[in-house]
Amino acid sequence: MLTIGILGLQGAVAEHMKQIQGAGLNAVVIKKAEQLKEIAGLIIPGGESTAIKKLMDQYGFIEPIKQFSEEKKPIFGTCAGMVLVAKQLSDSEDAHLNLMDISVKRNAFGRQRDSFEIPLDVKGLPEPFPAVFIRAPYAEKAGSDVEVLASLNDKIVAARQNHILVSAFHPELTNDGRFIELFIEMVRDANKNPIS
């Protein structure tokens, strides 16, 4: 059975675990970089991107996650995770993991009190997805090989580039498992066709 890891430094870890286990896969909390060798896909959950980056530095995660990505193992960044994988941040010179060709604006939809849920059209899903936005970012620009999966007010809020998936919203905070299934399919496909 495939195992998906959730980076357990901060954020909505338990909710992601519940969704993955509900889909019939193993889920583990990743607290040490060496655990990355044991998983087929990695979720970088929401939280506070600056705090997560500091903890990633402190616990030696930056280079191991970049190596994980170089091996074309799927990575899913939600909310702060979307900020962390971006190659460019609109309000900072210091991007974090530099994995996905998007330029991200942090807290772009406002503060915690501006949180909202909206039915969102997502490419590949026949019915709208109940997207929960909490201090959410969005991508202002995306490279030519980035597939935009969802936009809100002309701002990119979900996208995929090869083995990396991002969402500005929190799919783990809903009872709708369809978005996590997109990532699970990426993990299954990567394991059918491993990079040698």
pLDDT tens-digit readout, 171-182 = 999 999 999 999
pLDDT tens-digit map of 19-35: 999 999 999 999 999 99
User: Is 172 labeled as catalytic in the residue annotation?
Assistant: yes
pLDDT at position 196 is 46
- The answer on pLDDT for 111 being more than 70 is no
What is the average per-residue pLDDT within 129-139? 93
- Verdict on whether the full-model pTM lies above 0.75: yes
Burial readout 26-59 (b: 16 or more C-beta within 10 A, e: otherwise): ebeebeebebbeebbbbbbbbbbbeebbebbeee
Dihedrals φ, ψ of 133, to 5°? -105, 120
Check 15, 16, 79, 96 and give the catalytic one: 79
170 catalytic? Reply is: yes
- Among the options 15, 96, 163, 172, which is catalytic? 172
Does the annotation count 96 as an active-site position?
A: no
Whether the Cβ atoms of residue 165 and residue 173 lie closer than 8 Å to each other = no
The catalytic position among 16, 96, 163, 170 is 170
At 195 the pLDDT is 57
Residue 56 sits in which domain range?
3-192
Q: CA-CA distance, 68 to 1, in Å (whole number)?
A: 19
147 bridge partner residues: 160
Split into its structural domains, the chain has a count of: 1
Q: Do 148 and 156 form a contact (C-beta atoms < 8 A)?
A: yes
CATH number at residue 135: 3.40.50.880
Q: What is the average pLDDT value for the chain, to the nearest integer?
A: 92
